[in-house]
Amino acid sequence: DTCRLISEHGMELCCGVLLGMGESDGQRIELLGQLREAGPAEVPLNFLDPRPGTPLAGRPLVAAREAIRWIALFRLALPDVILRYAGGREVTLGDLQEMGMTSGVNALIVGNYLTTLGRAPQEDLVMLDNLRMPVGTLSKVICPAVVS
């Protein structure tokens, strides 16, 4: 109902997802169907980074290749959505973050997240440069000296 109200009132809908909490493939497919129905403009894609002292502390990380497959499935299911890399990508994908970008991610959160540290913005800028992907910013957080 909230998602419907947001759209009815002319706002862009953003629906983040978190993979790796123990959900089944069937539940992930169900989630994709719900997202298609909701019609968000953006879907931040998070991967669980199990934190000590939390109920999910013992959960294993999503395997990197599995994460890449799900990125591709999200892109196929949501072709017009901004699919944004978000929390957990560093620990889940490691050196395969570039592959995730070419598998369907077309935006990313740079820097730190709500509860965990991200990687240095310069590393993401180098990755985007290596992939020859354009850089656009929503804020002045990335200073011109870092971009050049």
Distance between CA 72 and CA 18 in Å, rounded? 15
pLDDT for the residue numbered 137 = 63
Nearest to 85 by CA among 53, 131, 146, 51: 131
Is residue 133 within 8 Å of 109, Cβ to Cβ?
A: no
Kindly calculate the radius of gyration of the chain based on its CA atoms and give it in whole angstroms: 16
* pTM of structure: 0.83
Nearest to 123 by CA among 100, 141, 146: 146
Q: What is the mean pLDDT of residues 12-21?
A: 94
Nearest to 98 by CA among 67, 76, 77: 67
Q: Which pLDDT band, with edges at 50, 70 and 90, does 62 fall under?
A: very high
> Residue 142 pLDDT more than 70?
no
Distance between CA 84 and CA 44 in Å, rounded? 4
75-115 pLDDT tens trace = 999 999 999 999 899 999 988 999 999 999 998 887 777 77
Q: Residue 43 contacts by C-beta under 8 Å, 6 or more apart in sequence?
A: 14, 15, 16, 17, 35, 74, 78, 81, 82, 83, 84
